[in-house]
Structure 1
Amino acid sequence: MKLNKFIPAAVLLLALAGCGGKEAEDSSKKQSKESTPASTNVTKKTETKAPAKPQPAKVVKEEEAAYIGQEDPSSIQVQTKTDTLSLQVADVQNVDWNSIEKDTPVSIKYYKDENGQFVLTGIVVKTDTKAKVIKEDAEYVGQLDPNSIEVNTKTDKLILQVDKVQNVDWNSIEPNAAIEIEYYQNKDGQYILQSIEKK
């Protein structure tokens, strides 16, 4: 009989132990879910962005040039030793472009932007290097090429660049004709004719 009493007690004990064990297991899973962030149970979607194009560093150049003139309100043109450049001037303030004479020596700072345009960042007008204009009588020798003529002054034989003088028919001036000339010597040592008049 003792066995009959023991069996229901053992079954009850096993049933209670099985329920308690399941409940403890469920409880530990629940606590584990609560303490662990939800993101560990969810697959994260990550956006893949194309790598940003690296912006090229602005390489600022500094050069000596001759001022040619203003092309429009937002750009000027200068002549460097090697090129004629059009420069955007929006970054440069307080410059009266009309007050700078053509062929005035300038020192420029500029860079090439991502669109291939040259952008001026600074300009210094070299007013102290303005050449002295010489006016004297001379004798016309002749035209050497489309850009230059030769004359004899009282003391020298000169070759003059004539690009600045417009509307002159050089063939109409006879060799040895008496003329009056105005010219100056530029920083490269060339003589630049500013005006010529037959006497």
Structure 2
Amino acid sequence: MKLVKSLFVFSLLFFIIACSNDAGTVKKEEEEKKVTEQEQPAETETKTDKDTETEVKTDTETVAKEEDSKADEVKKPQSTEVKTMTAIYVGQVDPHTIEVVAEGETINLQTTEADINFDEFSDGDEVKIQYYKNEQDQYILKSMKFSVVEEKKEDSSSPVKESPKVISTEATYVGQVDTSTIEVTVDGEAINLQTTEIDVNLDEIEEGSQVMIAYYQNEDGQNILKSIE
């Protein structure tokens, strides 16, 4: 009888212990599951932050590249327009500068880019020039040569007409003789000049002022004004 009771008690204790172990195991698994669920969003959040940081970095690099590209565009020199015109050669101002009169305006040209023997030209020669204005507003001479005037020949026996000699000199402006004639004095000598070949506002020139003129004498012996400054 005692043996039966002992077996019953032992069986009961074993059942209780077994149940306790199962309950503990279940509880432990539930706790581990909760911990796992809590950690998972954190990892996702961390990954999202990294992705955001990468996107921000990429956008910053893109903006920096665009700014560098714009800076390069600004640094590129703008193309310069080369002008070609006929002018009167006045002379050399210094070893790397010459002076010409074109369209009634006196222009100083830098000759650092032109390989020209200026000894071949005389003051007052009519020349054809090519030049441009650089970023420092300096006029840079590209080329200069004599201006050739082609004359139509009736036949081979016709004499070749030479271009009239253009004279460039300082003078004292006396005033207008009529609507197409002005008077100046050069070395005390009065000279009448026809103004039909130039477009200049003579009202802006004061009587008695010193001016630079360029003129030539035509076949009829008239003095034709080319420029006045």
CA radius of gyration, larger in: 2
> How far apart, in 2, do the equivalents of 1:107 and 1:132 lie?
16
> How far apart, in 1, do the equivalents of 2:56 and 2:83 lie?
57
SS at match of 1:7: helix
Offset, 1:59: 2.8
SS at match of 2:25: helix
> How far apart, in 1, do the equivalents of 2:84 and 2:112 lie?
18
Offset, 1:14: 0.7
- Render the CA deviation track for 1:116-149: whole Å, top value 9, x for unaligned: 221112222236785478xxxxxxxxxx741465
Structure 2 letter corresponding to 1:7: A
Indicate the residue corresponding to 1:97 in structure 2.
Answer: 118
In the alignment, is the contact (CA less than 8 A) between 2:100 and 2:106 conserved in 1?
Answer: yes
Q: Say yes or no: does 1:11 pair with 2:27.
A: yes
User: TM-score scaled by structure 1?
Assistant: 0.53
> How far apart, in 1, do the equivalents of 2:75 and 2:122 lie?
42
Match of 2:84 among 48, 57, 62: 62
More strand by share: 1
Change in Cα spacing, 1:13 to 1:78, as seen in structure 2 (3 Å) is same
> How far apart, in 2, do the equivalents of 1:57 and 1:118 lie?
15
Indicate the residue corresponding to 2:99 in structure 1.
Answer: 77
Offset, 1:85: 0.8
Offset, 1:18: 2.8
Q: Say yes or no: does 1:115 pair with 2:131.
A: no
Change in Cα spacing, 1:56 to 1:32, as seen in structure 2 (3 Å) is closer
SS at match of 1:17: helix
SS at match of 2:104: coil
Unaligned runs of 5+ in 1: 134-143, 151-158, 162-183, 193-199
Indicate the residue corresponding to 1:146 in structure 2.
Answer: 185
Offset, 1:9: 2.4
- Render the CA deviation track for 1:77-98: whole Å, top value 9, x for unaligned: 11113111110111112x1112
Change in Cα spacing, 1:116 to 1:98, as seen in structure 2 (3 Å) is same
Unaligned runs of 5+ in 2: 1-15, 151-161, 166-182, 195-215, 225-229
Indicate the residue corresponding to 1:181 in structure 2.
Answer: none
In the alignment, is the contact (CA less than 8 A) between 2:164 and 2:218 conserved in 1?
Answer: no
Percent identity, please.
21
In the alignment, is the contact (CA less than 8 A) between 2:86 and 2:147 conserved in 1?
Answer: no
Change in Cα spacing, 1:79 to 1:41, as seen in structure 2 (3 Å) is closer
